[in-house]
């Protein structure tokens, strides 16, 4: 694998912190520099790959050593402005869920997170699979995207927007603050 310019320690951190720290560190690098992000969060591989692509960087891959994932990202050039994704507060979303059982909810967390508890009726497609499974989704109605904190669902919404989906609403924060009914 390529030699990193800088190594970032994100071990022990859960979503969205590896991305938050990576984004901050990337701001200090020059285009072409390589950042190694060391993480223990299993979902960080899909998260960082998706974030890298959406931010104009190149995700070079992941090497696993024991419990530590070593992700390599090459900083890209000047980034274009990202298209805005609509957001809804978790409180407003919870009220909508209580009032309307026909909402289309897309949960983009990893399988173990989804199985630990999800909103009844939510469709599960992990962030790393959204791009390839987009055609399973409807373009005719609003899609409410949710994850643990709101960051992965924002990345998923960006991927869907690139595929022509328009009615996308990111729920912020996500399941980490959900107080409504859940299924396991």
Active-site residues, by number, are: 15
Q: Work out the number of other CB atoms within 10 angstroms of the CB of residue 44.
A: 24
Please check whether residue 120 is in contact with residue 181, taking contact to mean a CB–CB distance below 8 angstroms.
yes
Rounded distance, CA 120 to CA 118, Å?
6
Report how many helices (DSSP H) and strands (DSSP E) the chain contains, helices first. Answer: 6, 9
Q: What stretch of H or E contains 184? A: none
Q: Give 177's DSSP letter.
A: G
Mark out the alpha helices in the chain (DSSP H runs): 17-26, 44-55, 90-99, 111-116, 127-133, 151-162
Secondary structure element (H or E) that encloses residue 1, with its range: none
Six-digit token string for 65: 């050593």
């Amino acid at each position: 694998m390529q030699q990193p310019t800088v190594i970032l320690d994100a071990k022990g951190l859960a979503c969205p912190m590896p991305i938050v720290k990576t984004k901050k560190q990337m701001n200090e690098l020059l285009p072409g520099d390589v950042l190694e992000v060391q993480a223990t969060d299993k979902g960080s591989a899909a998260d960082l790959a998706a974030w890298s692509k959406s931010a104009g960087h190149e995700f070079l891959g992941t090497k696993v050593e024991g419990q530590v994932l070593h992700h390599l990202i090459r900083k890209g050039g000047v980034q274009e402005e990202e298209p805005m994704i609509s957001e809804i507060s978790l409180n407003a979303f919870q009220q909508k869920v209580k009032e309307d059982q026909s909402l289309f909810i897309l949960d983009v967390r990893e399988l173990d997170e989804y199985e630990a508890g999800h909103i009844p009726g939510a469709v599960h497609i992990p962030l790393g699979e959204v791009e390839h499974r987009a055609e399973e989704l409807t373009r005719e109605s609003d899609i409410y995207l949710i994850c643990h904190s709101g960051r992965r669902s924002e990345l998923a919404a960006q991927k869907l927007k690139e595929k022509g989906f328009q009615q996308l609403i990111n729920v912020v924060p996500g399941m980490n603050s959900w107080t409504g009914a859940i299924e396991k």
